[in-house]
Amino acid sequence: MKFFVYTVIVLFVIPFQVTIIHSFPIGGRVPDVILVIVFLTGLWRGQIEATALGLVLGFLQDIFSGTMGWVNLMTKPLIGLSVGIFCQARISLTPWVISILLMITSFIYGLIVLLFLLASPSQIDFWSAVRGVIFPQTLYDVVFGMIIVFFAFKLFPSPSHKVWNL
Amino acid sequence: MRRSRSRVKQVWQVCLIFLLIALVLFPSSFETPLRLLSSLTVEVVQVPLNIAAFFNQKAMDVWSDVQGLIDLRTDNQKLREEVLRLNLEQNLLKEFEVAVDRYQKLFDFKQRCPYSTIVSEVIGRNPTNWYQSLVITKGEQDGIIPGLGVITPSGVVGRVFKVYRTFSIVQLILDRDSVVTGLVQRTRDEGIIQGSDNGEVIMKYLPPLSLLKTGDVVITSGLDDRFPKGMIVGTVKQIQNKEAGPFKSATLRPYADFSKLEEVIVLLDIVPSNEKSKTCFVLDAAVSETSERFSR
């Protein structure tokens, strides 16, 4: 059953990221749905499942992306692993905490990709990339992530999720 | 008292029986009084009958109205469905018309184009914000290889970057890592056309004494091994005179609308296959724009 659910997620998320999400750009930028999904999987299902999902989704994201490198294949499982391990600590996962965690995760992910690009022959300017890509994407990721969290807990309310206060 | 009443009753009964027998035996003799009686009775009965008929008619009208309303609701529902269906059909037809128009343009372009090309649909865009690319439906099995030029009848789009069996990734000229050699059509100044981080197309390394001005048409120079000479790229939007640098650069406004790409043409081979004009790529709009400028 779990395998089936993850297969459905993968089959849904990749076309969504490649096609549908481009209909809702803000300032020409779109959220990284895959990052948000891997982050939330790490939060809710632990590091093992999030890492595995990050591997698959990162790999597929790199296949469809206009780069020769495998930066998403490397970073997305790392995100799943880090978030999963971090959330083992007993912290109260309020919406604020989740949004701040997601913001930090997205920002660090952006910086890693930028460093990767700076190391490659790509002609990229650090500050314009931070201003033009990393900041807007971080904010958009947080908004998108919180929308998913909101609907997830509206759809699947559970006593264990009282701390969310949604 | 009781006895006298029963006697009266009996007398009445006997009278009635005799009357019935008389009616049966001599009906003709009763005809006149019966007629009189019936006309009187009709006059009397007519009033409640009319009243009843009036109410009956009203009730029938109301019922008919109710029936009509019920029918009206059904008809309304049917008509709404019909309107929806027709709207949908109309939208489909409009979309079909637009698609036919697009395909016609592609077909005309392909007819005029002397090079070997293949038309492909755009099915997706880059899944991250770091690159500017498209996903197209043609791949290795259709003869696509990395580096091939990708265009639309409006102008240059980019080049094939990654190829899989059934689809390919096209790097747009908006991408900072994209490089195409260009030429300012009027002044014949050559330069390098590159994308930038903010999604603009910039023509770099133009001669410092270049006389280019805003609105000049930029075409491919043909030095690139994947784009033949003369393909429209865009017009000069802004000129940057870098005083410290040895070269001029210009921001271009590409002809191709990258946000609305639905089909693209991949140039499989840029060696002309027939005697058709090599200048097939020059858009009508660009031609008219340039001639207009010259006439001024």
A103-153: pLDDT as tens digits:
999 999 999 989 988 888 777 888 888 988 899 999 999 999 999 888 887
Q: Which residues 128-147 of B are in CB contact (within 8 Å) with A?
A: 128-133, 135
Domain assignment present for A165? no
For residue A123, is it within any domain? yes
> What is the domain range of residue A111?
31-154
State whether residue B165 sits within 8 Å of chain A by CB: no
The mean pLDDT value for B26-46 works out to 74
**Structure-token pair, residue A138:** 């971080």
| B-chain residue closest to A35, CA distance | B128
Q: Kindly state the percentage of chain B with pLDDT values over 70.
A: 87
**A36 in a domain, yes or no?**
yes
Question: Which residues of chain A lie closer than 8 angstroms to B198, CB-CB?
Answer: 128, 132
CA B261 to chain centre: 16
**pLDDT of res. B288:** 46
pLDDT at B196 over 80: yes
- Residue-level pLDDT at B35: 75
- The helices-and-strands tally (H runs, E runs) of chain B is 3, 12
Residue A163 lies inside a defined structural domain of this protein: no
Asked if the Cβ–Cβ distance from B127 to A14 is below 8 Å, we say yes
Q: How far is CA A90 from the centre of its chain?
A: 22
Q: Do A65 and B131 touch (CB under 8 A)?
A: yes
Whether residues A128 and B197 touch (CB distance < 8 A) is answered with yes
Average pLDDT, chain B: 81
Q: How far apart are CA B286 and CA B10, in angstroms?
A: 122
Q: For residue B22, what are its two tokens?
A: 């008389």
Predicted confidence (pLDDT) at residue B225 exceeds the cutoff of 70: yes
∠ CA B39-B45-B49, nearest 5°, is 130
**φ and ψ of B151, to 5 deg:** -135, 175
A with B: how many residue pairs have Cβ under 8 Å apart? Answer: 72
Question: pTM of the prediction?
Answer: 0.68
| Contacts of residue B176, Cβ cutoff 8 Å, sequence gap at least 6 | A122, A123, A124, B194, B195, B196, B197
Distance CA A42, CA A77 (A): 10
**How much is the pLDDT for B126?**
85
Gap between the Cα atoms of B27 and B45, Å rounded: 24
Q: Are A35 and A53 in contact (CB under 8 A)?
A: no
B107 has a chain A CB within 8 A of its CB? no
Q: Do A18 and B199 touch (CB under 8 A)?
A: no
* Cα A6 to Cα A9, A27, A152, B214, B273, distances in angstroms: 5, 31, 16, 53, 50
Judged against a pLDDT cut of 70, whether residue B181 lies above it is answered with yes
Q: Considering only the beta carbons, identify the residue of B129, B135, B197 that sits closest to A29.
A: B129
All residues of chain B having their beta carbon less than 8 Å from the beta carbon of residue A125 are: 197
Measured between alpha carbons, how far is B251 from B249 in angstroms, rounded to an integer?
A: 7
**Is A21 inside any structural domain?**
no
CB-based contact B173:B224 (threshold 8 Å): no
Q: Is A91 part of any domain?
A: yes
Is residue A19 a part of any domain in this protein? Answer: no
Give the pLDDT confidence of B49-95 residue by residue, as tens digits.
Answer: 678 778 878 888 888 888 888 888 888 888 998 888 888 888 888 87
Which is nearest to A39 in space by CA: A96, A85, A5?
A85
In a domain, A24, yes or no: no
User: ipTM > 0.85?
Assistant: no
Alpha helices in B113-181 (DSSP H): none
* Full DSSP string of A75-126: HHHHHHHHHHHHTTS-----HHHHHHHHHHHHHHHHHHHHHHHHHSS----H
Please give the pLDDT value at position A157: 67
Where does the pLDDT of residue B242 fall: very low under 50, low under 70, confident under 90, or very high at 90 and above? low
Residues 6+ apart with CB under 8 A from A37: A9, A13, A53, A57, A148
Of B162, B190, B189, B188, the closest CA to residue B175 belongs to: B162
pLDDT at A163: 44
Residue A40 makes CB contacts below 8 A (sequence gap 6+) with A145, A148, A149, A152
Closest C-alpha to B175, from B205, B211, B134: B134
Residue B66 CA, chain-centre distance (Å), reads 40
> What are the tens digits of pLDDT across the range B258-284?
888 888 999 988 766 555 444 454 444
| Number of domains into which chain A is organized | 1
